[in-house]
Amino acid sequence: MIVESIGISLCISGLLFSAVRKTTLDQQKIQHTFKNIDYDAKGYAPTLLKTIKKDSYFEYVYNVPYGLIDDDKLQPVLQKTLDKPVHVYFDGKLHVRVYHKKLKDRYNYDMFESLGGWTIPVGMAQEGVVYHDFDTIPHMVVAGSTTWGKTVFMKMLMTHLIENNPDGVEFYILDLKGGLAFHRYRNLKQVKVVAGDYKESAKALKMVKRDIKKDMDYLKSIDAENAKEGNLPTRKFIIIDEAGELKPEKSMSDTDKEYAKDCQSIMNHIARVAGQVGYKMIFGTQYPTKEILDSQIKANAVARVAFRLVTSVQSGVAIDQSGAETLEYPGRAIYKTVKEHIVQTPFITKFEMQEKLRRYEVNDDTTREESTTPRTDTITIG
């Protein structure tokens, strides 16, 4: 028994020594990094105030000299220096959180628990699963270069919302990459439109605008301020996959330019006034520029999901900071509302989506047309 106790004590001592050694090495490397990148104020560098030890990370909290603020380049430099996931944030003190393990490069869709309602899993972060509630934050920008996960994420989002609310969700999809990405889902009863060109897109958005007006008039008539208060049972999602195609260009015909302008005007209208009425816009783009992601949409789409982008400038337009240009894996994204999280988004294959959604397919065009007629008898009061 004595030998066993000694062995256990030595083991615990060894683990404690290893943890202390790791934190000391991290602290030294962080301090050297401050010096090497001139992160100081007139020669005064941050000083360590305390170390917080958690199961999944160590967090180093620093006092900073007056006038020294957070620096975007600090996080990526520390991450490379320490060769560990790092999260840097500033709240009057400088916090450097160093995680023990890296995120995996894939988390399958079925491992994410459903919270029901209008909440979707955004992905796995170092802190655990991160969710987004569209009833709280209605509009979302999704940016990312080709093959890095943007369209898969939007399909996952659609699948999850249909599974949660098969009789209470509608989708209006502008698939401006030739209609190829979402064409196979056109026969789902929840999908009202898959528009593949400018004319179809303008027509779909005008339909949405008419519905917004009717729903707003109804809510006014019962003195309700939003969809939840007015017991509107349906939420309508407008998914735009490649919004950059809706920017009027010289190469377009005059007719297409007018359709594109109509689309932009209605998208801005949705972003400004329709969120609390039950309309949610998912604005997807490969090329986030100030011209494509204009001020009206950016100001009202508080939720941002950025996959790998080409430049720090694009990252700045999409999420108001650099970082998306350094993401390592397809499906890895920065999710930002008030706070930011680096997540690995849920992965779902086309086959899995088909298996989950095929029971909702309707092949009767007459039924589809009837289902898109504005309803007057489906609102539950009280």
CB 171 within 8 A of CB 237: yes
3-class SS of residue 96? strand
User: What are the beta bridge partners of residue 47?
Assistant: 63
- Establish whether 373 is an annotated binding residue: no
DSSP characters for 119-152? EEEEEEETTEEEEEETTTS--EEEE--TTSSHHH
- Establish whether 150 is an annotated binding residue: yes
- Other CB atoms within a 10 A radius of the CB of residue 304 amount to 24
- Establish whether 151 is an annotated binding residue: yes
**340 Cβ neighbours under 8 A, 6+ residues apart:** 319, 321, 334
- Establish whether 43 is an annotated binding residue: no
What phi and psi, each to the nearest 5 degrees, are found at residue 212? -60, -45
Short-list 245, 248, 220, 244, CA closest to 232? 220
- Establish whether 147 is an annotated binding residue: yes
Short-list 125, 70, 148, CA closest to 315? 148
For the chain, what's the residue count?
A: 382
- Establish whether 149 is an annotated binding residue: yes
60: DSSP letter: E
Short-list 68, 63, 34, CA closest to 48? 63
Short-list 88, 9, 6, 71, CA closest to 36? 71
CB 306 within 8 A of CB 279: no
Q: Which residues are annotated binding-site positions?
A: 144-151
Q: Which residues are annotated binding-site positions for ATP?
A: 144-151
